[in-house]
Structure 1
Amino acid sequence: MTKLSVNVNKIATLRNSRGGNTPNLIQVAIDIQNFGGQGITIHPRPDERHIRYQDAYDLKPVVVTEYNIEGNPVPKFLDLVLDIKPTQVTLVPDAEDAITSNAGWDTKKHMGFLKEVISEFKRNGIRTSIFVDPVLDIIEGAATTGADRIELYTEEFASEYTKGNSEAIIPYAKCAQLAIDLNLGVNAGHDLSLDNIKFFKENIPGLLEVSIGHALISESIYLGLENVVNMYLNRLK
């Protein structure tokens, strides 16, 4: 079964919009795990507009499943991850002003930098994943960096799937198979939803984990958080 890691950034966004501690991010993370979620993902950004760096520390003792911290490996982020030592760090090449992640790494162009960062994480026992577009050369580059996994950036698939273009899955399936052949684990995330997750899961070989936040939290407004977590788990079986 593919693991479901729930990104709680949107919970932090809602909390920050009003000040105070409602909704309680820590309690939501506990509840998600009690509802069956198999991981918690956060993506702190330098301006702390949703997840705050302190949240990363506060979550550490309550995440008893898998703890995944995503972000651009700038010095402050590196220090945070090395201090907390989560289960997994996912490297994402975000610009500081990006609203959300919008591209994967050019693993050939940034090979030296990625190798240096990944080797430091691995020395500290942290599993490392690289956020990548579904391009075969990029997957080959990812394998050379020493990363443990890739995370396929699925925005294009999700966009095309809503238009009825099921063939948009093909480059993702090919890249997943290449990753497996190169001894890389396969994760995926971005714009995956209840509408497309079953089809994606059924067509991606060796899919270990999906990280879902925006869609899951939005769907929960109508259907309830516990119900939606379990709806995802059923589709991922």
Structure 2
Amino acid sequence: MIRLNNVCKDYMTKAGPRRILDNVNLTINPGERVGILGQNGAGKSTLIRLISGAEPPTTGTIERNMSVSWPLAFSGGFQGALTGADNVRFICRIYGVDFAPRFQFVKEFSELGLYIDEPVAKYSSGMRARLAFAISMTIDFDCYLIDEVLAVGDARFRERCRVELFEKRRDKAMLIVSHSHRYLKGNCDRFLLFRHGAIEEHDDFTHVYFEYKQLLGEGFDTKEQMIAAMN
């Protein structure tokens, strides 16, 4: 279980502190798949970073009784001067797992070829994302944090990612940030809508997506009109 208790997050700006998340309370249970919707800048990725431990909350507490992944496809933790292989080795040491079988998986899944032995600084953003996703799949987490990760690569690679993550790890908890209604509706059973620093919880995807479209100023007069446009 992951529990957020009265969590607030502020960032400093030239105009002073700006509150992104305001008194958030949230519980994520084992095996739940939670979809996250909200306008740009609403705090979706901030929530992911807080839960991962990459950033601390300004106030409040976060309890983690499950192992949590880093944000999938997040490559900020890579050391650019090291090769892809060396980055895999470094992460395996951190988590105390065997390098050889995991390196073989990363090499084959990422399809980086000879670039696996080149410095990550030479990688394109897509190559870095492939490496990050493949490494994420080598460590067994109880909860995966996903931020539009399956947008990486061509259709064939995205399908491989979908099978690896959603089918082979169907019993894992997941938090998924996405703007795609098909992606969220097809993979989630709970939904969070970010509105003015607060989080609203919904079980009905049609209702939450209708509210989301209203926030974007792309609202429909009725849910029926929205559903027709989505199909």
TM-score class, shorter-chain normalisation, is 0.3 to 0.5
Query: Given the two structures, how large is their TM-score scaled by the length of structure 2?
Result: 0.37
TM-score (norm 1): 0.36
Structure with a larger share of its residues in helix: 1
Q: Which has the higher contact order (CA 8 A, sep 6+)?
A: 2
The higher radius of gyration belongs to 2
More strand by share: 2
